[in-house]
Structure 1
Amino acid sequence: MDQSQNDGRGGADESAADTFARLAIELHDAPGVEETIDAVVQFALQALRLTHAGVVLHGRRKLEVAAVTDSTVAEVYSLQIESESGPLITTLQSGATVLIRDTHADDRWPKWADKVAALGVRSVLDVPLATGNGTRAAIGVLGLYSPEPDAFGADDEAIAHILARHASVAVAVARHEETMAQAVDARKLVGQAMGILMERFDVDGDRAFAILKRYSQDTNTKLRDVAQQLIDTRKLPR
């Protein structure tokens, strides 16, 4: 290999390194989960030269389509979520990467594959967003799609896994920060509601909190929601 080839390869490596460094910075600076996921999807398109990508996350009660590049990806996800079957579901449950080289030839999910092929998708690469806590199940999946058969090689898989690791950490951090922010907001709301009760009924803080808690339990309503209703209406829920 001559010097010009070495220089060319070095330039490509440096470009990839710059790309992932920029990704790390953007994910760190993203203000929330939605912005974090959007950044991951856009970098996936850029790094792998794709036109279709998306992310699905495990919500508290159901799967959440966090980001899609277009209606094709939305349909790919919808077909799997409704039937609870497909590479997305397998990746979520097992924490394993699933590669479909050609939807015309893959027989693991034939009905789904036929419908996806009709949408113009030939290659599929679903990569788990791992929690890192030892569990097999994933917190989400980065889905990559191509209209060309056998579009994903070993290098593409390696890049996809790097993106997924960045995304996993960023999503975990963003979710934690959102949870902490919600907890702070809840404490503020409860404090304001307690102040209203203390002034109106001339009770102390302990008694005001006990009133809110009782209404929360009796109406099967979250404490913060009881507090919010009292603040908005100046009335406790019936």
Structure 2
Amino acid sequence: MSEQDLVATSADAFARLAIELHDAPGVEETIDAVVQFALQALSCTYAGVALYTRGSHPEIAAVTDSVVADVYDLQLTSDNGPLVSAMRERSTILIRDTTTDERWPEWAAKVAALGVRSVLDVPLATGSGTHQTVGVLGLYSPDPDAFTADDEAIAHILARHAAVALASARHEETMAQAVDARKLVGQAMGILMERFDVDGDRAFAILKRYSQDTNTKLRDVAQQLIDTRKLPH
């Protein structure tokens, strides 16, 4: 295949990916589309995604094989390794051979024992600030020196698509949760207004007080009132 044909094929593949990511109904489905595309388009046998949570701690979001989960766990437990560095430094890290790389010797030896020789970790970032790092796309192969310059270039394009899609999916989920929470609180306020003959401001104040006194989210207090017709003790 000529270079021109390769570019056209890659462009067509990413166009299809963009549509698939846009149509994904949620974060989980978006991540699954990313790792499955990585398996098809890159020289990797395994792929995975680690994401920052709301508490700013990375967690395993998706893996195509249990080997990837082991590779991630080794790093997240010790807070050390290429995945952690890629997240913190917003830099792509390529390990051509885990049996010879000396940057993370203890981790590399354990990963090599799992049968992983090549590693490519690409940050998922939506902006220039550190807080704009969404996570990391990890690509793995049992073969040494498996990733070419073309693989790295394609991985960067995939990472950009993935970061934007994930940020959008997270925002939509957050907005949906917020709308749902408002509906629940409104329904709970209606119950209190009818039962105790109070106005909306007073009903909301009651819910808020119970939320604070029981250290429970306002949404959960409202849900419990709706389910049980009783306020939490």
Task: Quickly name the TM-score band, shorter chain normalised.
Answer: over 0.9
Q: CA deviation at 1:137?
A: 6.5
Question: What is aligned with 1:234?
Answer: 229
State the TM-score, normalized to the length of structure 1: 0.94
Residue type matched to 1:102 in 2?
D
Where do 1:83-98 residues align within 5 Å? 83-98=78-93
- Provide the C-alpha distance between the structure 2 equivalents of 1:199 and 1:124, rounded to a whole number of angstroms: 62
Cα deviation, 1:187-238, whole Å, max 9, x if unaligned, reads: 0000010011011111111110010011111111111011011111111111
Question: What is aligned with 2:41?
Answer: 47
Where do 1:10-49 residues align within 5 Å? 10-49=4-43
Among 168, 171, 175, the residue aligned to 2:170: 175
CA contact (8 A) 2:91 2:123 kept: yes
Q: CA deviation at 1:131?
A: 2.7
State the TM-score, normalized to the length of structure 2: 0.96
Question: What is aligned with 1:58?
Answer: 52
CA contact (8 A) 2:48 2:62 kept: yes
Cα deviation, 1:55-109, whole Å, max 9, x if unaligned, reads: 0000112322111000110100011111111000001111111111110001111
- Provide the C-alpha distance between the structure 1 equivalents of 2:117 and 2:131, rounded to a whole number of angstroms: 28
Cα deviation, 1:29-63, whole Å, max 9, x if unaligned, reads: 00111100110101111111422000000011232
Residue type matched to 1:182 in 2?
Q
Among 169, 172, 189, the residue aligned to 2:184: 189
Among 137, 150, 159, the residue aligned to 1:155: 150
Among 131, 140, 146, the residue aligned to 2:135: 140
* The 10-residue stretch of structure 1 (44-53 or 103-112) with the greater mean CA deviation from structure 2: 44-53
User: Which structure 1 residue ranges, 5 or more long, are not aligned?
Assistant: none
CA contact (8 A) 1:122 1:149 kept: yes
- Provide the C-alpha distance between the structure 1 equivalents of 2:129 and 2:89, rounded to a whole number of angstroms: 12
